[in-house]
Amino acid sequence: MRRHRNVKIVATLGPASSSKEMIRRLFDAGADVFRLNMSHGDHDDHRARYDAIREIEAETGRPIAILADLQGPKLRVGQFASGAQDLEEGDRFRFDLDPAPGGAGRVQLPHPEIFQALEPGSGLLVNDGKIRLRVDECGPDFANCTVMVGGTISDRKGVNVPDVVLPLAALSDKDRADLEFACQLGVDWLALSFVQRAEDVEEAKRLAGGRAAVLSKIEKPAAVRAFEDILSVSDGIMVARGDLGVELPIHSVPPIQKRLVRQCRSAAKPVIVATQMLESMIESPVPTRAEVSDVANAIYEGADAVMLSAESAAGSWPIEAVTTMDSVARSVEADPNYRAIIEASRKAELHSVADAIVTAAREIAETTDIAAICAFTQSGKTVSLVARERPRVPIIALSSIEPVLRRLCLTWGTHCVSTPRLSRFKEAVVNATRAARSFGFADETRQVVVMAGVPFNVPGTTNILRIAPCDERLIFASDPE
């Protein structure tokens, strides 16, 4: 089974997609990565979904990536004595630490760290930014505000603080428990919510201890400002446009998305574009034209993956949502303009032998009759470097290390194939050409580029490139080494 597109599809699992049968249908429709949202459901729910995915993986013989998305610290107001309250522009409203039920002029905000960071003039956003307030006075246990944009405030509504970096850990006690559970379960990726600084990522990586790769969700202005530092310590990035669009002017999100995607590509790290991509398909079998354009735009930018959230987790049309994304991706990638845009945004990155070899592999593939680039990898790095080049031919990632192949399922253009542990380059050539033929990338009349490192089974040793025929008689008739 192979995909006839390069961009990957991430599908979130939930009440609408919990059974093994439905997960298999999502996979067959085009889902490459399954997301377990730790904000919803309990550990038993997630374990059952994980087990179903691994059973499907065994049945299909195709590695499947599983991403556990940690909830992150949720900032919420307390409760109101007499139900929801209407706030109008110009009203005065107070947030404080008093646990007493709120009323017309105040409510508890049980987060002292917010009050520590606020200054007069800071903004507070409530209920996904529908209500906007300006801080006039503040202290260690209160903030007196003026309502700038009114609306209805009710129990437990979320609060965003866009103007300041909060002295708040990215991992709550729940997140730490969920992280350990997910790592013991065997997930491939951890998504870290509400990252503000590189130190947040480093803490998560220490706790993961190499058992899963860590992907940083960019959804706060502080993360945008510190993006280079965050990217340098992250294994991947998610442009989570939901909270980002709440905390920043909505018109600033598209250029930020474009910039972050390009920086991730330059760093050879996978990037997911997420949130509200096909939102209307929660209830409708057909997306809006604007949503289709949004998905297409992310693919034109060169994103590694696009993501479905509630569309596949709780919507009425999960299979149709995945099918729509797959169709949009195929259409975009068949457009000559797509190739022109992708190649125009390519930057030369020649810092190592591996950089030079992957650049040469891409150039050879584009100037000769090459069916695929076959890259052997121990850590996934070589394949990531090939994907950064966005070659015109498919990338076949080969490894004997199953967790590496699963993580690479998130990387643009990769078809992951498990191989035995090898000891000679000729074995690598034979395995590569067999994989190219068996998965329909080439027949015996074609050639592939094979990349590997000697000595074998040592990360970071990519140093060989060979153009190999897919006819094994020609392979064995050539130099034995």
CATH of the domain at 120: 2.40.33.10
**Residue 77 resides in a domain:** no
- Contact 332/300 with Cβ under 8 angstroms? yes
Buried b or exposed e, range 114-142, using 16+ CB within 10 angstroms:
bbebbeeebbbbbbebebbbebeebeeeb
Same domain, 34 and 177: yes
SS3 221: helix
- Contact 412/302 with Cβ under 8 angstroms? yes
Same domain, 191 and 66: yes
Tell me, what's the pLDDT at 174? 95
Report pLDDT digits (tens) over 405-462. Answer: 999 999 999 999 999 998 888 899 999 999 999 999 999 999 999 998 877 777 777 8
Q: Give the pairing of strands 92-96 and 142-149.
A: antiparallel
Domain containing 472 — which CATH number?
3.40.1380.20
Amino acid in position 313: A
The pair of three-digit structure tokens given for residue 252, joined into one six-digit string: 């600033």
Residue 227 C-alpha from the chain's centroid: 15
Same domain, 126 and 219: no
Which residue intervals of 209-317 are DSSP H helices? 221-225, 227-233, 241-247, 253-266, 289-301, 310-313
SS3 361: helix
Q: What is the domain extent for residue 385?
A: 353-477
**Residue 19 resides in a domain:** yes
Same domain, 228 and 315: yes
Total number of domains constituting the chain: 3
Amino acid in position 112: P
CA distance 143 to 145: 6
**Residue 175 resides in a domain:** yes
Strand partners, 464: 452
Of 107, 132, 160, at which residue does a domain stop? 160
The pair of three-digit structure tokens given for residue 236, joined into one six-digit string: 């991947």
CA distance 363 to 354: 14
Q: Which regions of the chain are under pLDDT 50? A: 480-481
Amino acid in position 275: T
Of 160, 191, 217, at which residue does a domain stop? 160
The pTM of this model reads 0.93
Report pLDDT digits (tens) over 262-283. Answer: 999 999 999 999 999 999 999 9
Give the residue numbers annotated as catalytic, written as ranges.
35, 76, 217, 275
Tell me, what's the pLDDT at 353? 85
Same domain, 56 and 95: no
Same domain, 62 and 200: yes
Tell me, what's the pLDDT at 28? 97
Non-local (6+) Cβ contacts of 298 within 8 A are 7, 257, 261, 273, 277, 306
Non-local (6+) Cβ contacts of 105 within 8 A are 92, 93, 94
**Residue 438 resides in a domain:** yes
The candidate with the shortest Cα–Cα distance to 213, out of 235, 195, 197, 192, is: 235
Same domain, 237 and 378: no
